[in-house]
Amino acid sequence: MKKAICGIALAAAAFTSAQAASISGLVNTGVGAAGTQDANYALTVLSGATVLPNDHAFISADNVWPVGKAWLANSADSKWITPTSNVGAWLDPVVDGVYDYRLKFDLTGFDPTTAAFTGRFAADNSVVVRLNGQEIANGHKFDSWRSFGASTGFIAGINTLDFIVTNGHQVDDNPTGLRAEFVSSVATAVPEPTTYAMLLAGLGLITYTARRRQA
């Protein structure tokens, strides 16, 4: 009887400790050294004349125009990411440039119906935020933050979060970039089959023992 109770206690503890966890892979923009590629955010040019040397965004330097001037200043938590290593480059002189900054995160081992996150973003110019293809936020601010978040729309396995930035065309003085920070995230882990088995076995033994005592 004591062994069964101990087994249930251990299984329950394992179940409880595994429940609440932050979502791994939700990474702020600009993790890394200035001028290097942001390994977390893949970048695709959806329209516009900009030719990219690779498929990842670049991390901006601190206090280089427009960072800290027209745009929010970088911080220890996040930095601006841009299509080129020159954060102040004049882009899209003829047609609007549309840039898709994509972040992937994995919910394998978690119940996607329990997942949620909140965050904030800034962009030059406008941005649409999409979780697995569904819009969850939009806005246009580069000198202050706008909020975004989701509590539905997650799927098992790999999820995608797209920040699609549209840079309105003009001949000069036309940089573009994205800044994003995650404030909170949570998902419930799916317990291992052995945890369920231990709980069921312990409960079964307790029930059997109780019935024998009543007989």
- Asked, for residue 209, whether it belongs to a domain, the answer is no
The model carries a pTM of: 0.82
Kindly provide the b/e burial profile for residues 146-174, where b requires at least 16 CB atoms within 10 angstroms of the residue's own CB: bebbbeeebeeeebebbbbbbbeeeeeeb
- Asked, for residue 133, whether it belongs to a domain, the answer is yes
- Asked, for residue 195, whether it belongs to a domain, the answer is no
- Asked, for residue 2, whether it belongs to a domain, the answer is no
> How many CA atoms does the CB half-sphere of 119 hold within 13 Å?
27
- Distance from the Cα of residue 68 to its chain's centroid: 24
Kindly provide the b/e burial profile for residues 98-109, where b requires at least 16 CB atoms within 10 angstroms of the residue's own CB: bbbbbbebebee
- Asked, for residue 37, whether it belongs to a domain, the answer is yes
Mean pLDDT by 10 residues, the chain (215 residues): 46 51 97 96 84 81 96 97 93 93 97 98 98 98 97 98 96 94 97 50 47 57
Q: Would you state the pLDDT for residue 55?
A: 86
- Domain containing 76 equals 21-190
User: pLDDT tens digits, residue range 4-49?
Assistant: 444 444 444 444 445 779 999 999 999 999 999 999 999 999 987 6
- Asked, for residue 118, whether it belongs to a domain, the answer is yes
Domains contained in the chain, number: 1
State the DSSP code for 96: -
- Asked, for residue 86, whether it belongs to a domain, the answer is yes
State the DSSP code for 65: T
Q: Would you state the pLDDT for residue 180?
A: 98
Q: Would you state the pLDDT for residue 215?
A: 57
- Asked, for residue 119, whether it belongs to a domain, the answer is yes
CATH number for 186: 2.60.120.260
